[in-house]
Structure 1
Amino acid sequence: MSTIAEFRLPAEDTVLAATFDRAPEATIRFESSVSRSIPGLWIDGVDRETIEAGLDADPTVDAAELLVASDEGLLYDVTFPDDARAIFELLLADGGALLEARATNGWWAVRMRFRDRDDLCETHERLLEHGVNADVRRVTDLTETTAAHSRLTPEQQEALSAAFEQGYFEIPRGISMEELAGELGISHQALSERLRRAYETLVDEELQPSNDQVNSR
C-alpha cells in the first residue's frame, strides 16, 4: 500500500544552512518538474542581493544561476556538490518519490511517497545513520478508494489538515492565518487561496448528491 510521509529535516544536517544564516526570512522550495537533475529552487521573502550573498557563502552550493525573477519569487538553477547531493540519494534510495520540499527558518518540510511503510522505515533509518535528524511528522496510507474519491489536491489537504490540527477553526482561533502560513512555509495569500478552493471542493462534494437526486426526479 502506497504511503505518504512528511519529514522535518534541519538545514544544518542537509543543505542551505549557511544561506538561512544570511537570509533567515527566506522561503525556499524545489520547483515542481520532471527532470533527471535536481530541480531548481524558487526563493521568496528576501531580496536578490541578500539571497545571492547567502548562496555564494554556502558550502553546500557550488553554483547558483538566476533563471526567473517574477512576482512568484526568484528561480535559481543550483548546482550542489557531491556530498550535498548525497542527501537526496538517501531520500530516494528505496524508490521514494519526492512530492514537495520546502524550507523556512532553517528547516526543510519534505513530503514523499513510498511503495509501503517498510520502504519509509528503511529511508528514515538510513537518514539517522548518516547524521540527519529526520523527524517524521505525519504518515498516511493511500488506498484506491481514497485516491478515487478525494478531489482535494495534496496542497489543499495539507492546508486543511494543518489548519484543523493547529486550531484555526476553533473559537477563539488557536492560530492566525499569518502564523499558519508561516508554519507551512507559504505566503498568506497562497494559504488563503488553498483554503478557499478546498472549501469550494468540499461544499460541492457535499451538495452534489442532493443535486443529483433533484435532477433525477
Structure 2
Amino acid sequence: MSTIAEFRIPAADTTLEATFDRLPELRVELEAAVSRSRPCLWITDAERTAVDAALADDPSVETSDLLVETGDRLLYDVTFAPGADTLWDRLLVDGGSLLEGWGTDGWWQARVRYPDRETLCRAHDRLVDRGIGVDLRRVTDVSPSSPSRTNLTAEQREALEAALERGYFEIPREISMEELADELGISHQALSERLRRAYETLVDEEIQPIGESEPPS
C-alpha cells in the first residue's frame, strides 16, 4: 500500500525566501519530475522584469534562465546555490515521487507518493533533523485494490506513458522535455501543459476526502 503525504514548509528554511519577500503575490509551480540540480519553475502573478531581478538577487539562487514566456506564465530553469535546501533533496530519496509542488506567500507545499508509511517517516525525520520546520498536513494510504479509474484524456495518457517509457521521470532525467515534445510532435509548451493537467487529474483522483474511500455498507 503506497502513501501520499502533503507537506507545508517555510521558504525561510528552504529556497526563494528573498524572492517571496520581494514579490508577495508570486506563485511558483514546480514541475513534478525534477532534476536534483536544475528544476523548472512556472512563475505567475509577477512581471518578467521583477521576477528576473528578484531571482538575480536571491541568495538561494545561483542561476536562472527564462525558457518560456506565455501570457501571464513564465518558465525558468533554475540552479540553486550550493548548500540550499530544496524540497526534493530529502523528500524524494528512498523512492519518493513528487506529484505536485508549489510555493506562495513564503511557503512551499508538496504532495509526495511513498512506497509505504515507513518511507514517509524517514523523509519527515530527515527534514526535522536538518532543522527544517515541516508541517505534515495530510497522509492518505492508497490501496492497490482500489477501483481503477481515471479521467485522463487520451493526449494526457499518451504524454504520461511516453514520459515514463523514455525516462523523463528518472532522476536524473534520461530525456529532456524538449526532446520528448519533438518525439510526440508537439511543442514544449503544449507538452508541459499536458503533463501539468495530467498531474492535477491524478492527484485529484488519488487524494479523496476522508470517509469517501470506501462505499457505505
TM range (shorter): 0.5 to 0.7
Q: 1:109 to 1:52 in 2, by over 3 A?
A: same
Q: 1:2 to 1:20 in 2, by over 3 A?
A: same
Q: Which residue of 1 aligns with 2:57?
A: 57
TM-score (norm. length: structure 2): 0.67
Q: Which residue of 2 aligns with 1:177?
A: none
Q: Which residue of 2 aligns with 1:115?
A: 115
Paired residues for 1:1-217 under 5 Å: 1-33=1-33, 37-71=37-71, 73-84=73-84, 87-146=87-146, 148-149=148-149, 151=151, 153-157=201-205
Shift of 1:77: 0.6
Cα distance in 1 for residues equivalent to 2:73 and 2:10: 23
Percentage identity across paired residues of the two chains: 48
On the 8 A contact 1:9/1:132 being kept in 2, the answer is yes
Cα distance in 1 for residues equivalent to 2:208 and 2:118: 28
Cα distance in 2 for residues equivalent to 1:46 and 1:102: 15
Q: Alpha-carbon deviations, 1:102-138, whole Å to 9, x = none?
A: 0010111101010100010111011011011110111
In structure 1, the gaps of 5 or more residues are 162-217
Q: 1:155 to 1:141 in 2, by over 3 A?
A: closer
Where is the helix percentage greater, Structure 1 or Structure 2? 1
In structure 2, the gaps of 5 or more residues are 153-200, 210-217
Deviation larger for 83-92 or 63-72: 83-92
Cα distance in 2 for residues equivalent to 1:82 and 1:88: 14
On the 8 A contact 1:7/1:134 being kept in 2, the answer is yes
Q: 1:23 to 1:127 in 2, by over 3 A?
A: same
TM-score (norm. length: structure 1): 0.67
Shift of 1:157: 4.5
Shift of 1:37: 4.8
On the 8 A contact 2:4/2:142 being kept in 1, the answer is yes
Q: Secondary structure at the match of 2:123?
A: helix
Q: Which residue of 2 aligns with 1:171?
A: none
